[in-house]
Amino acid sequence: MNEPKNKRPVIVGLFILTGIFFLIGGILIIGNLHSTFSKKISISTVFDNVNGLQPGNNIWFSGVKIGTVKKIEFFGMSQVKVIMNINNESKQYIRKDAKVKISTDGLIGNKILVIYGGTFSSPEIEEGDTLLNEKILSTEDILNTFQQNNLNVLALTKKLAAGEGTIGKLLNNDSIYYNISETIKSLQKASENAQVLLASLSNFSEKMNTKGTLANDLVTDTSVFYSLKTSVLNFQRISDSATVFVNNLKIATDNTKSPVGILLHDEQTGTDLKTTISNLKTSSEKLDKDLEALQHNFLLRRYFNKEAKKNKKQ
């Protein structure tokens, strides 16, 4: 079988080109992802503690990767200067008064630098600028807070176990439990009574709905309602008349020249009236005696005896 003379060189060339293609592809992908071939500016910030931030860690602004950490070096006595490479096209969005903080990519991800804030009135960042930063809450701080919370919970549970405080007493004092139990029982009883009441109300409303009863007529019959309305109106009129009468009587009594006014206000007339009544009483007693004497008179005695006998028979 004849095979072309240059078959092997072609295949080997293709094979090597494939390898070179993968290599260049990989380099371009990485270069693009890491913005290796784009222009950058260098800015810095100074932290007290960088919490494991490393060169190459990403820098985010509004959730977008805009650069990487270039270098980390000690600054002053114990501070750390972080030099950042920021993509040239992103610098227009970052202002000189923007701040930097160290954060994490996800819950347990790599450390990242986050640039945030900044006002439009402030100019955009330039090569060599130093941004302010925010003191971050380290994992140690968070753990310390958790530890403090644990101690608080421990102290609370100790108090609860010892029966201190309202909740402790509630948990440990039997009498409170019995009181609550009794209260619940009372509530239960009240509930049962309420149920009975509701049943009665239901019964009442049922009866109210029964046609022909007074309650139903009161609620539903328009003629009864009309009569009641009329009666109420009459009562109203009577009340008005009584008011007028009382007013007139008051006017009359207030007037000292009218007979009633004289009777009520003139003392002399009152005294005369009393004397007249006393005289009438005396006259009446005397007349009573005279009439008693007259009964025993021989001319009339016979008539009175007859009357007595007649009454006795009856």
Partner 1 sequence: MINSIPRKYLFSKGVDQYFTEVYLAYKFVVRFFKEASRPPFHLREIINQCFEIGVKSLPLITLTGFIIGIVFTQQSRPSLSEFGATSWLPSLVSIAIVRALGALVTALICAGKVGSSIGAELGSMKVTEQIEAMEVSAINPFKYLVVTRVIATTITIPVLGLCCGFVALLGSYLNVHSFESTSIVSFFNNGFSTITFIDIFSSLFKSLAYGFTIGIVGCYKGYHAVKGTRGVGRAANQAVVLAMFLIFIEEVVIVQMANWIRYY
Binding site for partner 1 (CB under 8 A): 8-9, 11-12, 15-16, 18-20, 22-23, 26-27, 29-31, 33-34, 36, 56, 106, 108
- Residue 30 or 143 having the CB closest to partner 1: 30
The answer to whether 42 touches 127, Cβ cutoff 8 Å, is yes
Helix (H, G, I), strand (E, B) or coil at 312: helix
Q: How far is the CB of 174 from partner 1 (least distance, A)?
A: 47
Q: How far is the CB of 112 from partner 1 (least distance, A)?
A: 12
| Joined tokens for residue 224 | 């009864």
Which residues have C-beta within 8 Å of that of residue 69, sequence separation ≥ 6? 53, 54, 55, 56, 57, 58, 59, 82, 83, 84, 85, 113
Q: Residue written as tokens 């130093």?
A: 130
Question: Of 44, 23, 63, 64, whose CA–CA distance to 55 is shortest?
Answer: 44
Q: How far is the CB of 82 from partner 1 (least distance, A)?
A: 16
Helix (H, G, I), strand (E, B) or coil at 48: coil
- Residue 12 or 244 having the CB closest to partner 1: 12
Q: How far is the CB of 29 from partner 1 (least distance, A)?
A: 5
Q: How far is the CB of 139 from partner 1 (least distance, A)?
A: 16
Q: Residue written as tokens 């009357």?
A: 307
- Residue 5 or 313 having the CB closest to partner 1: 5
- Residue 26 or 270 having the CB closest to partner 1: 26
Amino acid identity for residue 286 in this structure: K
User: How is 133-170 classified by DSSP, letter by letter?
Assistant: E-----HHHHHHHHHHHHHHHHHHHHHHHTT-HHHHHH
* Residue 85 CA, distance from chain mean position: 53
Q: How far is the CB of 9 from partner 1 (least distance, A)?
A: 5
Question: Of 252, 256, 277, 274, whose CA–CA distance to 265 is shortest?
Answer: 256
101 class by beta-carbon count within 10 Å (0-12 exposed, 13-18 middle, 19+ buried): middle
The answer to whether 39 touches 88, Cβ cutoff 8 Å, is yes
- Residue 77 or 108 having the CB closest to partner 1: 108
Q: How far is the CB of 4 from partner 1 (least distance, A)?
A: 13
- Residue 56 or 259 having the CB closest to partner 1: 56
Beta strand 79-87 with 130-133 is: unpaired
- Residue 25 or 165 having the CB closest to partner 1: 25
- Residue 31 or 163 having the CB closest to partner 1: 31
Q: How far is the CB of 110 from partner 1 (least distance, A)?
A: 9
